[in-house]
Amino acid sequence: MTWNWQLKDWPEFLYSKEDFAEYENEFLQQSGVILGSLKHIPADDQELLKIDLIGDEAYKTSEIEGELLNRDSLQSSIRKQFGLQTDHRKIPPAEHGIAEMLVDLYKNFQAPLHHDILFNWHKMIMNGRRDVQKIGAYRTHSDPMQVVSGSMDRPTVHFEAPPSDDIPTEMDRFIDWFNSTGPGEASELPALLRSGMAHLYFESIHPFEDGNGRIGRAISEKALSQKLRRPTLIAISSAIEADRKSYYGALHKASKSLEITEWLHYFCSMILDAQKRTQRTIDFIIEKGKFYQRFASQLNDRQAKAIARIFREGISGFQGGLSASNYIRITGATRATATRDLQHLVEMGACVKTGELRYTRYYLNVD
C-alpha cells in the first residue's frame, strides 16, 4: 500500500477551489446568522452557552477516540478556567486536560501555530497518562506508526504514517503551510478548504504517539476561528461522532492519494452540519429563556428542580419523555404529589402530556 506522504509530489494536494465556493458562502452566511442569534441571548446565558458548547466538544472529541468522560466534571473544569464559580469537585486528569486544551484554543485562536502550542496541547490531553512514552513532544519510536483494527494476529492496517525520524521536518513544513495560508497572508486559502486540508495534512503526518485526532480537530477549529476573527464554537466533533464511520472512511480514502476533492466535499458538508447543530443549540437556549419568562413564577420548588434537570439534557431532553417515576426520583415527591405537580404543569401550559396510564409521558412545551 502506498500512502499519500510517500507520493512524489507530497504534500501538494489536488482539488479545484471553484467546486467549493458555494460551501464557503454558506459557511460565512450561517456564521453571520449564528452571531446575530447570540445577540438575542442575555450575557449570563451566553456564558452558559459557551461552557455548554466547549463542554460538549470536549466530550465528543474524546468519545470519537473511544474515551467516555464525565460531563459535569468537564463543565466544572471549563468554568474554573474561565474564572467562574464552580462546585469545587475534584476533576479527573482526562477531563481537566481536554477542557484545558479547548479553553486554550478558545482564548488564543488568533496566535500563529507553533510547535510549542502543539506540545502544550499534547501535555494537556495526555494528563494522567502513564502508557505514552513521549508527552509534549513528537514521537521518536522506531516502530511504524500505524492505525489498525482487528485482532492482534490478523490486524487491518488503515493507515501508516511517516517514520518518526521524518517528523521534525514534516511538522516544520506543516506549520509553515498553516501559517502562510491564513487570513491576510499571500497564500491565503478559503476558510473551509484550509480547515479541511489542515486536518487531513496533520492526520497524515500523525506526529504524536496518541492524541492526534483530538489535536487535528482543534487545528481545524483554529483555522475557522481565524477566518471569522472569533471563536467558532461550532459542534465539529458532535457532527463527526454522529457518523463516525463516514469520517474514518473519508480519512482512509484520502490518505492514499493527493487528489482530495472527495475528502473536501465530505469535510465541508460536515462543517455545515456542525453549524446547524450549533444553531439548534442557540435556538434551544433562546426558547429556554422564553420558557422561564413565562412559567418561572408559577413553579414550585419540586417542579423547578425537575424542569432544570430536563433542560440539562439539552435539545434532546429526556429520552422517551418524563415519567411520573422519573419525577419522583428527581424531586423525592410522593406519587400523589407528583401526579398533582405534573397535572399542574400541563394545565399552565409548561408541559405537554402524551400517552395514558403507565405510558404517560411529559415533554416541555418549547419549540
Partners of 361 in the beta sheet? 354
Residue 152 in this model has a pLDDT that exceeds 80: no
Span 89-146, pLDDT tens digits: 999 999 999 999 999 999 999 999 999 999 999 999 999 999 999 999 999 999 989 9
For position 271, what pLDDT does the model report?
98
Q: How confident is the model at residue 78 (pLDDT cuts 50, 70, 90)?
A: very high
Residue 157 in this model has a pLDDT that exceeds 90: no
Q: At a CB cut-off of 8 Å and minimum separation 6, what does 63 contact? A: 69, 237, 241
Residue 286 in this model has a pLDDT that exceeds 90: no
Q: Are 150 and 186 in contact (CB under 8 A)?
A: no
Q: What share of the chain is helix, strand, coil (3-state, %, to 5)?
A: 60, 5, 35
Nine cell digits for residue 361: 409521558
Residue type, 334: T
For position 366, what pLDDT does the model report?
87
For position 223, what pLDDT does the model report?
98
For position 49, what pLDDT does the model report?
87
- The beta-carbon contacts of 78-85 under 8 Å, at least 24 apart in sequence, are 78/51, 78/54, 78/102, 78/103, 79/51, 82/47, 82/50, 82/51, 84/47, 84/51
Q: Are 62 and 68 in contact (CB under 8 A)?
A: yes
Q: Which helix (H) or strand (E) holds 364?
A: strand 361-364
Nine cell digits for residue 42: 442575555
Q: Are 352 and 331 in contact (CB under 8 A)?
A: no
For position 329, what pLDDT does the model report?
96
Span 31-59, pLDDT tens digits: 999 999 988 888 888 888 899 899 999 99
Span 175-205, pLDDT tens digits: 999 999 999 999 999 999 999 999 999 999 9
**Weakest mean pLDDT among 231-235, 296-300, 363-367:** 363-367
Rounded Cα gap, residues 136 and 117, in angstroms:
10
CA atoms within 13 A on the CB side of 38: 20
**Domains in the chain and their CATH numbers?**
4-284 (1.10.3290.10), 299-364 (1.10.10.10)
